[in-house]
């Protein structure tokens, strides 16, 4: 059976997508350099699905390594998650980001061309809409005006993919623009495990709840939003993973490039998330209001209509599901650290 290649498939979103693809009967091969993940995730994918995906520990920037994967497997489609994603780091080390995110995509696309693999789904981001748009974001909104190099790599890769498909009419591509993925698999076996101090809201909340951090700083309570705190479109990572399967099925039947938002269309404030987290898990999270974080917008959420119309996909899980599953995963992490002697 032809295989689906998941680049970056050991990471947060890739591992959840591997589970959904395997559960749908797809044969999955993963390529990951493990720069931001651990190969034990393969064991845990196997525990959830009963099937072990093949893993290539490969840096996709390396053209030879990339070719090897295509030489050794019959790959019919690629879901391209691999890349660096820390916004702040991309400002400090832009070349590292441009080199990794662009070069890995170029070698991947070249190997796809030389092996007649014509289908690609790409992990883009709502960040391509930049900072000047109007909520809710539809796919026809102007892109560009990104506020950091990470965002520009997404903008540029969308362009590279679009041009490659234009020049090769037998190809199909879907650029998926994610909003704010949170949550974890309901088994509690896979989830997000950022190294260092988390930048994003939910990992910070779960680390406060488990005592790793003292309290949550809520960045700004004077925005023009219902309660003054920032509003985002949080989407459960399992819904997001299912969106990839739907996009893959669509791309297998259609040629050309589509850009599609994956969001819920509902904006929740930071305080909404804190309250839902407390309620879902019977906790009382300590927080303080702090000054606004530089570069943050008041409100950012999707118009998710196109995903429903084209892919027949819509997000189904609730904010409470997201909070319960995030916490279950954090508890798993804590217990496994204890078992490993605090490693
Ligand atoms: P992640 O860091 O958990 O996963 C990315 C994986 O890619 C990691 O396992 C890493 O080891 C691997 N990788 C990086 N460079 C590589 C290379 N050169 N060769 C091979 N493997 C490489 O990130 P994630 O949260 O799962 O995100 C997946 C994708 O979705 C990324 O492209 C990210 O930019 C994008 N995205 C994520 C979010 C989010 O909030 N998590 C939002 C929008 C877009
Ligand atoms: N946020 C916060 N405290 C934190 C992390 C985030 O108040 O420790 C807020 C942030 O200002 C924003 C929302 O939570 O309004 C989501 O932030 P995140 O970094 O998760 O996503 P992004 O801002 O990139 O959409």
Give tens-digit pLDDT for 86-116: 999 999 999 999 999 999 999 999 999 999 9
- Residue 270 CA: nearest ligand 2 atom is 14
Average pLDDT rounded to a whole number, residues 198-212: 97
Predicted confidence at residue 338, as pLDDT, reads 66
Residue 150 has pLDDT above 90, yes or no: yes
Predicted confidence at residue 343, as pLDDT, reads 35
Predicted confidence at residue 339, as pLDDT, reads 64
- Mean residue pLDDT of the chain comes to 96
Q: Ligand 1 mean position to 80 CA, how many Å?
A: 9
Q: With pLDDT > 90 as the criterion, what percentage of the chain qualifies?
A: 96
Q: For the chain, where are the E strands, in sequence order?
A: 3-7, 27-32, 54-57, 75-80, 119-125, 172-178, 180-182, 216-219, 231-232, 234-236, 256-262, 268-269, 287-290, 299-300
Q: How far apart are CA 36 and CA 140, in angstroms?
A: 32
Token pair recorded at residue 4: 């689906």
Find out whether 149 and 157 touch, Cβ atoms under 8 Å.
no
Residue 31 has pLDDT above 90, yes or no: yes
Helix (H) / strand (E) containing 127? none
Ligand with smallest separation from the Cα of 178: 1
Active site (annotated) includes residue 150: yes
Residue 341 has pLDDT above 80, yes or no: no
Sign of CA dihedral 117, 123, 126, 129: negative
Predicted confidence at residue 172, as pLDDT, reads 98
Predicted confidence at residue 187, as pLDDT, reads 97
Predicted confidence at residue 132, as pLDDT, reads 86
Query: Annotated catalytic residue: which of 12, 150, 234, 250?
Result: 150
- CB of 299 sitting under 6 A from ligand 2: no
Of 221, 103, 94, 222, the closest CA to residue 146 belongs to: 94
Taking CA atoms only, the protein residue closest to ligand 1 atom 9 is 11
pTM for the model: 0.98
Average pLDDT rounded to a whole number, residues 20-40: 98
Angle between helices 149-167 and 94-114 (to 10 degrees): 20
Q: How far apart are CA 97 and CA 104, in angstroms?
A: 11
Q: Tens digit of pLDDT for each residue in 268-314?
A: 999 999 999 999 999 999 999 999 999 899 999 999 999 999 999 99
């Amino acid at each position: 059976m032809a295989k689906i290649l998941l680049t970056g498939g050991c990471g947060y979103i890739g591992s959840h997508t591997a589970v959904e693809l395997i559960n749908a009967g797809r044969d999955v091969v993963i390529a990951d350099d493990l720069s931001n993940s651990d190969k034990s995730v393969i064991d845990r994918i196997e525990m959830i699905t009963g099937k072990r995906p093949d893993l290539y520990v490969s840096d996709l920037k390396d053209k030879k390594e990339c070719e090897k994967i295509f030489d050794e497997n019959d790959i019919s489609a690629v879901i391209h998650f691999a890349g660096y994603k820390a916004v702040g780091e991309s400002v400090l080390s832009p070349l590292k980001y441009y080199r990794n995110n662009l070069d890995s995509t170029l070698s991947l696309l070249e190997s796809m061309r030389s092996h007649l693999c014509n289908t690609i789904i790409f992990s883009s981001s709502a960040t391509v809409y930049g900072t000047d748009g109007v909520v809710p974001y539809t796919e026809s909104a102007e892109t560009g005006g990104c506020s950091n190099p990470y965002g520009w790599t997404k903008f540029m890769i969308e362009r590279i993919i679009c041009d490659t498909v234009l020049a090769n009419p037998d190809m199909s591509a879907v650029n998926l623009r994610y909003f704010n993925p949170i949550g974890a698999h309901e088994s509690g076996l896979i989830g997000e495990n950022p190294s260092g101090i988390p930048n994003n809201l939910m990992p910070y909340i779960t680390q406060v709840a488990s005592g790793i951090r003292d309290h949550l700083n809520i960045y700004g309570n004077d925005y023009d939003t219902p309660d003054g705190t920032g509003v985002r479109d949080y989407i459960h990572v399992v819904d997001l993973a299912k969106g990839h399967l739907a996009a893959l099925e669509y791309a297998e039947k259609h040629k050309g490039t589509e850009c599609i938002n994956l969001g819920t269309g509902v904006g929740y404030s930071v305080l909404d998330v804190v309250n839902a987290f407390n309620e879902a898990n019977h906790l009382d999270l300590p927080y303080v209001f702090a000054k606004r974080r530089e570069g943050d917008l008041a409100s950012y959420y999707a118009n998710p209509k196109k995903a429903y119309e084209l892919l027949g996909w819509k997000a189904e899980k609730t904010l409470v599901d997201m909070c319960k599953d995030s916490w279950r995963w954090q508890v798993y992490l804590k217990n496994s650290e204890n078992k490993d002697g605090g490693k």
